[in-house]
């Protein structure tokens, strides 16, 4: 039978309680922050005392000793200022670490929905399952998973959720996720690296910057720029000596050279600062990974791609140094010096040379950081849900298959979650009937969401799960569009056409059709629904269909053994509807629509 009582399956070994660990770390961070804050207050008070004491001592000291007293006091004041700056940086670090564990505890305690990233920028209204399975938006799967601090990492995670990976790629990710889930310190450090700067790593913009056509000047041009810049010194001497013609000739040559590269200088000045700060974050993350020790081949492979990049931050520091000098030209006093030295042009040429020289390295960095952050998201989810299991993917199965024991919805609270068993393979279709609010749509979303997790490389909300590669398509949440002039029914059949198209291209398709053709009359629903279901099954696809129309439920009987009926039921008890959300074989034998109408006060 494809519908069975839930049975226990294998669990992963639980190494530690994530909630207890997070609480312990939070308590430790609070103690450390309080200690540093107290020390910071003492040093600030000491600096004030130092300032007052220095002023008083210098005023009271003999004139010959006043300068020495002031110098000693100033030196102590500077040292205390440096100490204060370091303590403030430690406080910021402790605050970032505290935020990491507080957010983790909020996820474990199911308080994450209002503060988690929604990922709405990655939503596609025409995607065949993203909206149906609540991938994005408030309380979506993306928000539960995402701890990435850079746009590159978030974008990669969104891509993994929207596009199922093949078996080899899933196995690669699973290996990395298994190991990273036990590396809490590394995941915390990666989060802090991305969180410590305001500038996010914009993957598309950074990639566009490094892949832009090379405009690096030849050594001859850069040498000419340097010589022309240095010629400002003899030009100034000529002006002071009243030799105006040589000075005008030098300044004219400088102006002509600067105008030639004016456009390049302006573009570099506008773009390089943002990209440099992004690369500072990327380089920090690369160094963390380069220094880590991994056992699984997946992470070793990723680390090997970055081999030799341990000096990443040193290379980026040179770019930061160039950019800071470029920004300094905005100071009007510094501009008076930088203009005759052609500093802007020289810096623009140097930055472009840096970009061209390191383009391939930056590409590796961005790809590695994006992948690592996405893996860290899945590893964090794995760590925080030790009861979940990694699914088994079948690479060479002759037909599509999905089998899950104790399947639950990953977005539902554990206290209210009801688990069910689902098996699709030889039985290609489960046609599910049931009353309103009984759990039909939730089951479809549970199957789909766990399939998405499985193909992303994450553990699933089940006691055991086995499946083949599957393309996913669903019509669970469709709506009309006033702007496009599309009714809800037309939106549904257009989406169904896309799902059938998936099955036409590959029999390894999972379809999830909720309340199929509910927007039309019973006759058309029965005839159209039967044609759609038969087409999907004839192409070899597997899936679930829900309906209130009991006449359509007869279709499963005629399609045996390829199809089975299943249902959810409810009980009216003391003028109150009671649901157990348990999937049972067969067709439902009662409806609750009239009961619901009466419960809300309608006289029917």
* DSSP code string of 420-467: EEEEESSS-EEEEEE-TTSSHHHHHHHHHHHHHHHHHT--BSSSEEEE
Q: What is the pLDDT of residue 235?
A: 67
Tell me if 148 sits within 8 A of 376, measured CB to CB: yes
Helix (H) or strand (E) holding 544: strand 542-547
pLDDT of residue 11: 46
- What's the CA gap between 208 and 355, in Å, rounded? 12
| Whole-number Å distance between alpha carbons of 441 and 79 | 65
Question: In whole angstroms, what is the distance from residue 524 CA to residue 501 CA?
Answer: 21
Q: Which residues lie below 8 Å from residue 276, measured CB to CB, with a gap of 6+?
A: 316, 319, 320, 322, 323
Taking Cα atoms as reference points, which of 517, 433, 514, 443 lies closest to residue 473? 514
| Contact status, residue 464 vs residue 7, Cβ threshold 8 Å | no
- The per-residue pLDDT for range 462-496, each reduced to its tens digit, is 999 999 999 999 998 876 554 454 577 778 888 88
C-alpha to C-alpha distances, 433 to 29, 377, 515, 516, 569, nearest whole angstrom: 52, 36, 9, 11, 9
Give the CA distances from residue 121 to residues 155, 206, 208, 349, in Å, rounded to whole numbers and listed in that order.
9, 18, 19, 36
SS (H, E, C) 470-533: CEEEEECCCCCECCCCECHHHHHHHHHHHHHHHHHHCCCEEEEECCCCCCCCHHHHHHHHHHHH
Question: What pLDDT is recorded for position 593?
Answer: 61
Backbone phi, psi, residue 512, to 5°: -135, 100
Q: In what order do the strands lie in the sheet with 402-407?
A: 392-393, 464-467, 402-407, 420-424
Q: Contact, 18 vs 383, CB < 8 A?
A: yes
The predicted pLDDT at position 192 comes to 82
d(CA 485, CA 324): 53
Write down the pLDDT at residue 15. Answer: 58
| C-alpha closest to that of 549 among 527, 574, 534 | 527
> Quick one: pLDDT at residue 329?
66
Spans in the chain with pLDDT lower than 50: 1-14, 198-199, 482-483, 485
């Amino acid at each position: 039978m494809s519908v069975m009582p839930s049975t226990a399956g294998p669990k992963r070994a639980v190494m530690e309680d994530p909630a207890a660990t997070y609480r312990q770390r939070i308590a430790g961070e609070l103690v450390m922050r309080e200690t540093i804050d107290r020390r910071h207050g003492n040093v600030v008070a000491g600096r004030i005392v130092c300032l007052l004491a220095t002023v008083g001592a210098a005023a009271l000291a003999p004139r010959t000793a006043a300068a020495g007293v002031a110098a000693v006091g100033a030196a102590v004041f500077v040292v205390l200022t440096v100490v204060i700056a370091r303590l403030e940086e430690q406080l910021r670090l402790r605050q970032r670490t505290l935020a990491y564990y507080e957010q983790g505890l909020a996820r474990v305690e199911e308080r994450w929905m209002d503060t988690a990233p929604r990922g709405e920028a990655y939503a596609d209204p025409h995607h065949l399952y993203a909206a149906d399975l609540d991938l994005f938006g408030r309380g979506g799967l993306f928000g539960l998973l995402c701890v990435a601090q850079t746009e590159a990492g978030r974008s990669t995670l969104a891509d993994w959720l929207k596009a199922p990976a093949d078996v080899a790629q899933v196995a690669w990710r699973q290996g990395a996720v298994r190991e990273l889930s036990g590396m809490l310190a590394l995941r915390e450090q990666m989060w802090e690296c991305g969180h410590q700067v305001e500038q996010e790593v914009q993957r598309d913009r950074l990639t566009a910057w490094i892949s832009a056509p090379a405009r690096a000047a030849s050594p001859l041009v850069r040498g000419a720029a340097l010589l022309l810049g240095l010629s400002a010194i003899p030009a100034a001497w000529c002006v002071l000596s009243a030799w105006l013609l040589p000075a005008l000739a030098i300044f004219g040559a400088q102006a002509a050279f600067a105008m030639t590269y004016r456009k390049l200088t302006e573009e570099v000045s506008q773009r390089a600062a943002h990209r440099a700060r992004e690369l500072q974050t990327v380089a920090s993350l690369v160094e963390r990974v380069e220094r880590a020790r991994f056992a699984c081949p997946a992470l070793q492979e990723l680390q090997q791609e970055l081999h030799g990049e341990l000096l990443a931050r040193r290379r980026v520091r040179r770019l930061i140094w160039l950019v800071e000098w470029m920004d300094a030209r905005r100071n009007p006093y510094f501009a008076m010096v930088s203009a005759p030295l052609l500093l802007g042009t020289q810096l623009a040429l140097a930055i472009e040379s840096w970009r061209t020289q390191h383009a391939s390295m930056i590409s590796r960095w961005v790809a590695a950081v994006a992948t690592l952050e996405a893996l860290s998201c899945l590893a964090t989810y794995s760590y925080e849900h030790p009861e979940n299991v990694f699914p088994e993917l079948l690479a060479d199965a002759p037909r599509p298959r999905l089998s899950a024991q104790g399947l639950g919805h990953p977005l539902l609270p554990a206290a209210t979650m009801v688990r069910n068993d689902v098996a699709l393979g030889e039985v290609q279709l489960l046609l599910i009937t049931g009353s309103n609010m009984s759990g039909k749509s939730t089951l479809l979303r549970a199957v789909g969401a766990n399939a998405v997790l499985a193909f992303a490389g994450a553990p699933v909300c089940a006691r055991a799960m086995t499946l083949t590669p599957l393309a996913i398509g669903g019509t669970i949440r469709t709506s009309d569009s006033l702007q496009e002039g599309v009714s809800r029914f037309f939106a549904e059949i257009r989406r169904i056409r896309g799902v059938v198209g998936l099955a036409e291209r590959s029999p390894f398709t999972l379809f999830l059709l909720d309340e199929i053709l509910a927007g039309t009359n019973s006759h058309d629903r029965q005839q159209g629904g039967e044609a759609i279901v038969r087409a999907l099954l004839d192409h070899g696809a597997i899936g679930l269909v829900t309906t209130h129309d009991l006449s359509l439920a007869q279709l499963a009987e005629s399609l045996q053994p390829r199809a089975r009926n299943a249902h959810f039921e409810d009980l009216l008890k003391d003028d109150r509807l009671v649901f157990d959300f348990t999937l049972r074989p067969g067709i439902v034998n009662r409806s609750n629509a009239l009961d619901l109408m009466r419960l809300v006060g309608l006289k029917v």
